[in-house]
Structure formats: C-alpha cells, structure tokens
Chains A and B, each alone.
Chain A
Amino acid sequence: MIHDSLIRERLVTGGKTASDVTRDIARPILNKPSTSWKVGFTLSVIFLGIFVLSLFWTLWTGIGTWNINKSVMWGWDITNFVFWVGIGHAGTLISAILLLFRQKWRMSINRSAEAMTIFAVICAAMFPVFHMGRVWVGYWALPLPNAFGSLWVNFNSPLLWDVFAISTYFSVSLLFWYIGLIPDIATIRDKVKTKAAQYWYRFFSMGWTGSTRTWARYELISLILAGLSTPLVLSVHTIVSTDFATSVIPGWHTTIFPPYFVAGAIFSGFGMVATLLVVARKVMNYENYITIGHLEAMCKIIMLTGTLVGIAYLTEFFIAQYSGVEYEQYAFLNRASGPYWWAYWSMMFCNLVSPQVFWFKWARTTPWFIFIMSIVVNVGMWFERFVIIVTSLHRDYLPSSWVMYAGSLTEIGLFLGTFGIFFTCFFLFAKFLPVINMSEIKTILRNRE
C-alpha cells in the first residue's frame, strides 16, 4: 500500500499501466532508429572526429601545441577536466542521495543521469591523462613498482588521490548503473525479436527472472550502494578541490573548497541533466514520465546549489579581505577587476544571479526557458573553473612571469571534441538501453488508487 498524500502531483501522468511503461520505454530499442536520432548521432560523431584530430595533433607534435608554456600551465586542460568531472556528479546525486532521501521523482531521470556520469567521467579522464605528455607511461600514476627500482607513488600528493578517486568513482558508478539496469535488460530480453539482440540482452541480464528473493537482495544492495556512493561522490570532488586547495597559491588555498566544489559539481551536473532531458522528453515522447513536475524539482535544485555556490564565492571574497593576507586580497580583487574581470562576472552572473529566476513558477515550468537556463549554468560553471585556474596562475609570485592566457586551437578542439565523446555515448545508450528505469517507474503507477 502506498499512502501518498493527495496534494502530491502525479509522477507519471497519462494513466499508464505497467505494460504501457514497457512499451513506451522499450520502443526506441525495438524500433529502427528515428531520423532525429540519426541526425544527432551523426553530429556527435563529427565532434568525436574533432576530438580525434586534436588529440592526434597533440600527440604528434607534443603538448607544445597547447598555450600552456607559461605559468598558466593548467590552462583549458584542467578547466575542462574539472568541468566534466563536475557534470558527472549529478548522476550519483540523483541515484544515490535522492534515493536515500526517498525523492521519488528521481526514478524517471536517474538512469540517464547515471549514464551521463559515466560518459562525463570518461571525457574528464582524457584531460589529465593527455596532460601528462608522455601518455604511454601513464601507468606510472598507479601504485606499481617501477622499472628503475622499487620507487613507489607519492601518497602525499593530491594528484595521486585523484587517480584513486576518479577510478573508484568510475568503477562504482558503473557497477551501480549496471545493477540498476539488470531487471530492465531482462525486460528487453523478453521483448526483442532478433537472434543477436536476444543473445546479448540475455547475456547481460544474468538470468534475471524477478524472483522475490532476488528483489529483496536487490533493494538492499541498491540502498547500501547508495549509502556508499553518497560519501564517494562527495569525496571525488573534494579530492579534485584538494588539487587546488592543498597548494599555497592565493585564490586556491582556501578551506571552503571541498564543500564548495561539491555544490558546484551538483549544480553543473543538474544543468547538464536539464539540457539533455528537456530535449529528450520532447523528442522521445516521454512527457508523461518526465513531467513538468520533474523539471520543476530540477530547477529548484539548480537554484539551491547555485545559491550555495554563490555563498561560497562571497565567503571566499569576504575572508580574503578579512584575512589580512595581501596575496589573498590581491588575488580576489584581481579576479573581479583585473584583466579577466569578464570571466569573473560571467561566472557570478551565470551561477549566482541567473538561477534566482527560478523563484518564479513560470520559469520553473517552461521547458524552453529551462533549456536556455541550463546552457547558462553550463557556461557559468565552465567559467568558474577558468576563473579559478587562470586568474590565480597568470599572476605569478614573480611579476616578470605575469602573462595573459588564451586557449590554442588544439585546446579548443579537444574541449569541443569531448562533447563528441559524450553525445556519441549518450546516443548509443539511448538506442540500446532503456533511458528510464522501467522497474522503478512501475512501482509508483498506482499511487492514487
């Protein structure tokens, strides 16, 4: 029995039954790809091509093709890394933290958000890996005995923590996603007609039959995995933030970085989820599953996390002035009024000011507007990382090293190219796997009987 209050909005509209759910959500998998899918996929592959070309150029010529031969040695590269890792955080937030908080609206969007997590982490990983320069010895970052004696990795380095954090996050997210997918893969297995499809869906469904004994364990493992993923997702962006905050660089070394980065990550992640789902619900006809109510809830979270990030900006600025440390004071004044003032104020506008529009119900319930806002949020969060990295590095302790920095064509190509990786993966996912968690959605259909 479900005792949902009558004033709660329905999470699935249109009077859907369990078999409707299966039919609607399995449709893209069972049918031939639609035209919009083909167009989108082709575009994504073109961007993927840009990535491959830029990467080829980087490897052929060397990291010198990036404009980082100066004190701004992190440049676009680490900006993009942090940007993508951040985007990855919404998936785990939705699937884990909202599961712990029993927010049922999560059920329509968790599958695609988790998929996004995995693809975004793949995109993110590209940047530090190729920033190493000699990428073929990248395994030196792992705790393996190296060839020149038993010299091990440096456990005091936040960069090593990153290796552990990102790889753990990727593997555990993949596991969580896969376990969640198994019942749905089984549903697809029992619907597909072609031999090859039957073979592969059967292969990955691991013999799932829907026995109550397995369901009981399934629900428990989902809960425990959610409990594990929650501190995990916090730890990942915390550790990314320690790449900056453990240093003694003005503007980077500040104790609020861990929670502030996490809030920013969730903010940008929700921005990306909103971008994708506003389009997907329209194109794939999922308006009964991803309702206006879902969009509204997402907007509220965007507003909340945007405001949290804004509080962190103001706190940083305030404490820098309060600290009495002139380097800190200079770093922050330089951000706001130095040569990169436009980046700083773009960040402030996109992340703190613009989400406040979601106080108005109209803004939260109008899909095209939410789409525009989600792009604004993505831009703002990219600028945040740009501001943190570039403004702090372009003013070295040694004034003769002061420089200006702009990304080279290769760097821009790599960044645009990762959108190719991301969307190629996403389109393949939308074609071969159910985009909405069918078995969970079926549990909330009868909430008003």
Chain B
Amino acid sequence: MGIIDKNLSLRDRNKMLLGIWEDEDKLVEATSELVHAGVKIQDVYTPYPVHGLDRIMGVRRSWLSIVAFLCGMTGFSLAFWMIYYMYVQDWPIDVGNKPVRFSPSWVPVLFEATVLCTAFGMAFFFFFRNRMIWGIKPELLDERQTDDRMVIAVETGEGVDEKKVLKIMKDHGAVELREKTGGVQTTI
C-alpha cells in the first residue's frame, strides 16, 4: 500500500455520477441505500464531518494511531540517545552534584521530545496519506461543497447500473443530479 490514498484523486476516472444534497440526514440515508444496493461510492464530500458516514461507506479505520505510537517510540529513543550521548558519554557535567546517569531530570526532555516527534510524525503521515500539500489545486465538484452542500460521487463502469444509482439518489432527496466526464459537468 502506497502512503498516498489513491481513492482521493479524481483525475483519469471514468464518467462520474454526482448527486447534490442540502440535508445531512437525507445524505446519510442515500449513502447507506447506495451501499446496500451494492454500488461502490467513490467519495462523499461534505463541508463538515458527518458522523458515521465513513463507517457506512466502509472506509477502513485509519492507521494514524499506530503511526503515532511508532513516531512516539522513535522520538523517545532519539531523545534518550541524545541525552545519553551528550550528557553521559561525550562530556558529563557535574552541576550541583546532580548525577549524570539516568535520573528524574531526564523525564521532562524525554517527554517533550516524544510529544514533538509524535505530533509532527503523525501530521506528516496525515498530509501524505490525504494527498495534501501546500499549493495543490483542489478537485472540487461543486463550488459550495465547502459551504453548505454535500456531494456523493459514483464512478461508472462495468457492473454499475447508472439508472438505478440515479434513481436511488433522486428518491433520497438529491436536489440536483449531474454527470461528469473529464472536466465537464452536465446537469441531468
């Protein structure tokens, strides 16, 4: 598995069917109806996190927590090695008769370094996985999808019954239906 989530890119896809919603509950209904009908949903775009939608779509739980743990271990080890090298091995300093070997004095620095590595390691993983980078062009399907509208995108192809998809969307409160071929969207 590559780090970047390939599902996020919309380039080089077949024709896509788009449904637009304005009501969160109806969107959730439509999504679960589509999933029940065996349709593979490309993605659902919402202006705010809709609780439980990822579970309905069957998105696997992210590996972020494991990455965070590994980054934390790395940070802890690096910090331990740093202090050990600088303070015990290379040039021990006797200040106020405090021991140079491992002591409670090490704890604050070890803790801070662990947190720092965990936070930034996890954040970089998050950015890579989500294909997020400064300056990248967003692939928007509707200009109000970051405001108040929600979009369900279904990629067409073999085994996708377009009529059925559109019907489910329409029956469950889609305010607008469109199809997208390449960069061109047409209202149905």
**Chain A residues with a Cβ under 8 A of chain B:** 1, 17-19, 22, 143, 149-158, 160-161, 164-165, 168, 171-172, 175-176, 179, 182-183, 186-187, 189-191, 202-221, 224-225, 228, 231-232, 235, 239, 242, 438-440, 442-443, 446
Contact = CB atoms under 8 A, between A and B. Distances in A.
Interface of B: 5, 7-8, 24-25, 43-51, 53-54, 57, 59, 61-62, 64-65, 68, 82-83, 86-87, 90-91, 93, 95-96, 98, 100, 103, 105-106, 108-109, 111-113, 115-116, 118-120, 122-123, 126-127, 129-141, 143-148
B105 A172 contact: no
Nearest to A188: B146
A189 B146 contact: yes
Contacts, number: 204
Contacts of B87: 152, 155
A235 B112 contact: yes
Contacts of A231: 111, 115
A351 B58 CA distance: 52
A186 B68 CA distance: 26
A270 to B, nearest CB: 23
What 10 pairs across the A-B complex have the smallest Cβ distances?
A: A18-B148, A207-B136, A216-B54, A206-B132, A152-B86, A161-B108, A442-B48, A164-B112, A19-B148, A156-B98
18 contacts: A19-B148, A168-B112, A183-B47, A183-B48, A190-B143, A206-B132, A207-B139, A208-B146, A209-B146, A210-B46, A213-B8, A213-B59, A218-B126, A228-B119, A232-B112, A235-B111, A242-B108, A446-B24
Contacts of A182: 132
A228 B118 contact: yes
Contacts of A224: 64-65, 68, 122
Nearest to B103: A156
A217 B126 contact: yes
B86 A143 contact: yes
Given A207-B137, A443-B48, A187 B146 contact: yes
Contact of B130 (A156, A214, A219): A214
Contacts of A438: 48
Contact of A183 (B116, B135, B146): B146
Interface of A is mostly: helix
Nearest to B42: A211
A175 B48 contact: no
A155 B109 contact: yes
Contacts of B122: 221, 224-225
B138 A202 contact: yes
Given A211-B8, A217-B126, 15 more contacts: A1-B25, A143-B82, A155-B83, A164-B113, A179-B123, A189-B146, A207-B136, A214-B132, A216-B54, A224-B64, A224-B122, A231-B111, A232-B112, A439-B48, A443-B48
Nearest to B138: A207
B183 to A, nearest CB: 15
